[in-house]
Amino acid sequence: MAEQPPAAAWQQSIDLPSERGASRLVTDELLAQLGTHGWPSDEIFAIHLAAEEALVNAVVHGNRLDPAKRVRVECHVSPDVVRLEVTDEGEGFDPETVPDCTLEERLESPSGRGVMLMRSFMTRIEYNAKGNSVLLEKRRGEPPASEQSAGDQPG
């Protein structure tokens, strides 16, 4: 029996309004495409989680729900790689200054876990210099960014 040819990569640019619940405009289609491209359910969970955190960060913390500002999302889904680039129109931030939420004194803080979850569930996460754009990448079967040695990380 002939093997099924791999589904062509899905690529899309999506422009989001800066309002609560806007992430659904990306994640609904993203989840459908991950299924179409044969991603396993545990990796779909990981990608969904990271995407949700990046999108909410951009809308709420980046654009501060300003209706005049948009969030630009570039999506790429193939059977082996998922890439999402989320850019807001905010002032940006330095992800290195986000305190470690697993420190004893921070454990019970109700916020500040989004960046860590993205690092723990994606293969690669990179911010631009301004800190208003994040690139998330998941390669099927590869360990998350948080488990790679510091020497593997750029910068």
Partner 1 sequence: MATHQRIDVSKTGDVSVVRFQDAKILDEAAIQELGTELFALVEFDNRKAILLDFDGVEFLSSAALGKLITFDRKVKTAKGRLKMCGIAPGILEVFQVTKLNKVFDIRSDLAEGLAAF
Site string for partner 1, 22-61 (x = CB under 8 A): -xx-----------------x--xx-xx--xx--x---x-
Q: Could you please report the per-residue DSSP string of 53-113?
A: HHHHIIIIIISTT-TT-EEEEEEEE-SSEEEEEEE-SS----GGGS--TTSGGGTT-SS--
Site string for partner 1, 56-75 (x = CB under 8 A): x---x---------------
124-127: strand order across its sheet: 10-17, 70-77, 81-87, 133-139, 124-127
105 lines the binding site for partner 1 (CB under 8 A)? no
Binding site for partner 1 (CB under 8 A): 20-21, 23-24, 42, 45-46, 48-49, 52-53, 56, 60, 101-102, 107-111, 113-114, 116-117, 120-121, 146
